[in-house]
Amino acid sequence: MPALFDFTLLAVAAFAAGALNAIAGGGSFLTFPALVFTGVPPIVANATSALAVSPGYLGSTLGFRAELRELPTRRLRREMLISAGGGVAGALLLLVTPGHLFSGIVPWLLLFATVLFAAGPAIAARMRGRASAAQAHSRWHDAGLLAVSVYGGYFNGGLGILLMALYTLAGEQRLNTINALKNLNSLVLSWVSVAAFVLAGAIAWKEGVLMMVAATIGGYAGAHWARRLPAQWVRAGVVLTGLAMTAVFFARLR
C-alpha cells in the first residue's frame, strides 16, 4: 500500500476526478498526474488511470437509456464494435510504446486534451451551425469513430469532446442523443482497453482499486454538485488544472 501521503493524494485526486467527470469531464487531468507523482511509471499510470475512471462511464450510459432505445439496434451494434476495435488497438499501441517515448509524448497529449476541452463548446457550436441532419450517416463517420476510439484507448484525455465533435460534424443535432452515443462508446472502448491492460499486467492494482472506489464516490457527489455549481467555473478549473499539469510534465522533460 502506498505511503500515507501517496494514499491520500491518490484518493483525493480520484474523488475529484469522479466529481469532475460527472459535472464537466476532465478527470484524467487529475488521476494520471497523481499516479506519476507517486512514482508509478507513465505507461502503467495511464493504464491505471483508465481503470480508475472506467466505472463512471456505466452510470453515464445508463442515464441515457431512453435516448439509446430510440436508435436502431443495428447502428448501436456497429458503433460498439468499432469502438471496441479502436479501444483495443489504442491499448495495444500504448503497450508497445517505449516508456521513454511515451514520457516525451505525455506533455503534448495533455496540452492537446486541455486545448480541446477549452475549445469544446465553441467547436460544438460551430459544427452544429454547419451540420445538416442529412449528413448524419456520412461516409467518413465510421472511420472517424475508429480514429477517435484508437486515441481513447491510447490516452483518455479529451475523449468526450472528440466524440461529441465527431457526432456533431456528422450531422446529429440532438444533444441528448450525442451525449448518449458519446457515453456508450466511451464505456465500450474504455472497458475493452482496460481489459487489454489487465491481461498485459499493466495495472497498478493497489493504487487502481483505491482510485476506482474514490472516483465512484466522487461521481456520486459530483452528480449532486452539478445542479449547484456554474458550469463555467467548473470548466475553468479543469482548464487551469490541465495547463498546470502540462507545464509540470514539460518541466520534467528538461
Q: What was the pLDDT predicted at 227?
A: 60
Phi and psi, residue 156, nearest 5° = -75, -20
How many CB atoms are closer than 10 A to CB 214? 21
Q: List per-residue pLDDT tens for the chain, 254 residues long.
A: 458 889 999 999 999 888 877 776 778 888 999 999 999 999 999 999 999 988 878 877 887 888 899 999 999 999 999 999 999 999 999 999 998 898 899 889 888 888 877 887 776 666 655 554 444 455 678 899 999 999 999 988 778 778 877 887 777 777 778 878 988 998 899 999 999 999 999 999 999 999 999 988 888 777 666 567 676 777 787 788 888 888 888 887 76
Return the pLDDT at 56: 79
- Residue-level pLDDT at 223: 65
Q: What is the pLDDT of residue 24?
A: 64
Alpha carbons within 13 angstroms on the beta-carbon side of residue 123 total 16
pLDDT at 164: 78
**pTM of the shown model:** 0.82
Residue type, 60: S
The answer to whether residues 22 and 56 touch, using CB atoms and an 8 Å cutoff, is: yes
- Determine the residue type at 249: F
C-alpha 53/C-alpha 155 separation (Å) is 13
The pLDDT value recorded for residue 34 is: 92
Decide if 235 contacts 24 (C-beta within 8 A). Answer: yes
